[in-house]
Amino acid sequence: MQIPDIIIAIDGYSSTGKSSFAKLIAKESGFLYLDSGALYRGVTLFAMENGLIDSGNNIREDKLAAALKTLDIHFENIGGKTMTFMGDRCIENEIRTLGVSGKVSPIATLPVVREYVDKRIRDLGKGKRIVVDGRDIGSTVFPDAELKIFMTADRNVRAMRRMKEMQGKGENVTFDEVLRNVTDRDYIDSNRAASPLSKADDAIVLDNSDMTIEEQMVWLKELLARKFGTPGNDGSAEA
């Protein structure tokens, strides 16, 4: 798939399949995929392992702020897959557990954490040709991104997808637990003071409640053709 040298920002609610979509776009276009949620999850895992967040979600913000100065969370390409690392330790599986999912939203409300993640994403994305997913990529991190997509889907559909994904990885979770987590995260992500989840004015909405990933790729290709011209055209924008 040919795409001009642009930044693609994909935002939206949790468990809408943003990362699956972004990864497939990256694979088909050669773009670099950046998962901002993985960085928030990595910071959360670090906070949990170091006693910086308790069961009531009270956060030792001063200690976390100090630790972020040296905390090394980054991505490595292992066999064609983007994996999240903390130092030399692969944390890709641990950051996807319900334990981390249940703590990540409060951590992501902290301005110091948001600054850390924004800086890492902007540094990693310097060369354009990136597809980035998150909650505030089109509104805050890359407000000039040439293509902004905002993903949404029915909450029950999202919880069902997430439950299947987690069960597929051997995690013992019920539909109700996952639905509660999705609902809680929607609320915290949308209502926090710092950079809440919101659709950028120029983002295009994709509701994929009833769409397969293949149908989403068809939708994207049509959108790219409309906006940037198909390969062989002069690349001028129509929309």
137 within 8 A of 144, measured Cβ to Cβ: no
CA 106, CA 99: separation in Å to the nearest integer? Answer: 13
23 within 8 A of 33, measured Cβ to Cβ: yes
Say whether residue 134 binds ligand DC (CB under 6 A): yes
Between 45 and 220, CB nearer to ligand DC: 45
Only segment of 37-45, 46-54, 64-72, 123-131 that touches ligand DC (CB under 6 A):
37-45
Of the candidates 233, 238, 213, the one whose C-alpha atom is nearest the C-alpha of residue 223 is: 238
Shortest distance, position 56 Cβ to ligand DC, whole Å: 18
Shortest distance, position 14 Cβ to ligand DC, whole Å: 4
Only segment of 130-138, 200-208, 215-223, 228-236 that touches ligand DC (CB under 6 A):
130-138
- What is the H or E stretch that residue 155 is in? helix 155-168
Between 125 and 134, CB nearer to ligand DC: 134
CA 183, CA 16: separation in Å to the nearest integer? Answer: 13
Q: Which one of residues 36, 84, 139, 208 is an interface residue with ligand DC (CB under 6 A)?
A: 36
- Residue 136 is given by DSSP the state S
Say whether residue 150 binds ligand DC (CB under 6 A): no
Positions 186 through 205 that interact with ligand DC (CB under 6 A): 189
Q: Which one of residues 25, 43, 64, 104 is an interface residue with ligand DC (CB under 6 A)?
A: 104
Say whether residue 208 binds ligand DC (CB under 6 A): no
Beta-carbon count within 10 A of 100 CB: 19
CA 153, CA 155: separation in Å to the nearest integer? Answer: 6
Written as six digits, the tokens of 56 are 């009531």
Q: What residue ranges bind ligand DC (CB under 6 A)?
A: 14, 36-37, 40-41, 104-105, 108, 134-137, 185, 189
